[in-house]
Amino acid sequence: MLICEVKKLINHNQVCRQMKKISEERLFLEKLMNSHSVSGFEESALALYEEYVKPFSEVFRDSLNNCYAVLNPSSCKRILIEAHIDEIGFQVTYIDDMGFVYVRQNGGIDCATLPGSIVEIHTSDNKVVPGVIGKKPIHVQKPDERVKVVELEELWIDTGLSKENVLEMISVGDVVSFRPNYFYIDENRIVSKGLDDKIGVFVIAEAIRRLSKENLYIGVCAVATVQEEVGCKGAKVCVGNIEPQMSISVDVGFATDVPNISKKKYGDIALGRGPVINCNTDCNREMVNIAKSVAKDVGIDVQLNANSISTGGTNTASLQVSNKGIKTLLLSIPNRYMHTQVEMCDLRDVESAIELIVETILFINTNKLL
């Protein structure tokens, strides 16, 4: 009887520890999604990443502000795992005579999705000024205006403040982000601004945390890269600082399980069916085959995509031709409504991506492929 009670207590404690770990992971994910990290202004999200990975890795930044978490830094055999931490957003370009604020975009944004959006203006003295993106109401538009595609310069941010208060608080160059809005739309699916690509940053953070418990001879470096949305700048810099021979990038990819997206052009990619192994020219054949083989052996569901373009669109293309050349792999998390403030991903795909990265690196390590 006593033995049974002890076993129950042990099982209960194990479950409690697991629940605590899950809650810590989910809390980090929520904080990361609700941080602002507009391209070129990623510090608040970088600080969260640095805090999370510091207990189990060596951490440093470079001059561009990429954040590195390193296992086995002395090893000359290195694999890079990276995801970009920047998100789309805006910067203030003009304030008119009535105090309305005008912006230009950092990263590609569909202006049709912007009217009615709630945003936050981050001032130079670290204040946050809320606002809404306004446009002329449909009731007072001329017929030709109703069918015209809206342009960003025809939209404005209304803070509700007087012109004097606006000019006192807000300056040209201030960064503007969408208001945090992370939520679960069902048990496994989340909606948020900035899932592109902070969900990838969560994946690499979790992957290196789990790898830190393994006995590796190779070095592993998980980098939260900056400014991908404005030219893949962080990726171009980070290779020179760690000189890896292989890399795995994690980004979001188009989910085509919604109306009006051609599966013939963009592939048959759905939420909840696993991460995507990309097979275009940016990805090394050996790396693709290793990932496919590992997924099959371990029992991880994956999807394959040749991509609608032969090269480009993520950091992978830049990494591939950096330094003396790198064997690259791109894993994608299926994402609905990319580059809007209501992007949607499935946490089952996220967990499978973490598992695939961990198992792939363990396979490379065990079989001495580096």
Annotated catalytic sites, by residue?
228
61 CB-near residues (< 8 Å, 6+ apart): 46, 50, 67, 68
Q: CA 45 from chain center: how many Å?
A: 11
Strand partners, 1: none
HEC secondary structure over 126-169: CCEEEEEEECCCHHHCCHHHHHCCCCHHHCEEECCCCHHHHHHH
Q: Which two structure tokens, joined as six digits, stand for 188?
A: 């496994």
CA distance 310 to 126: 42
Pairing of strands 78-84, 89-95: unpaired
Strand order in the sheet with 246-254: 58-61, 67-71, 219-225, 78-84, 246-254, 327-335, 276-278, 303-305
Distances (CA, A) of 334 to 162, 269, 347, 349: 43, 7, 10, 8
Angle at alpha carbon of residue 165, lines to 160 and 167, rounded to 5°: 110
Note whether 220 and 208 are within 8 A (CB): yes
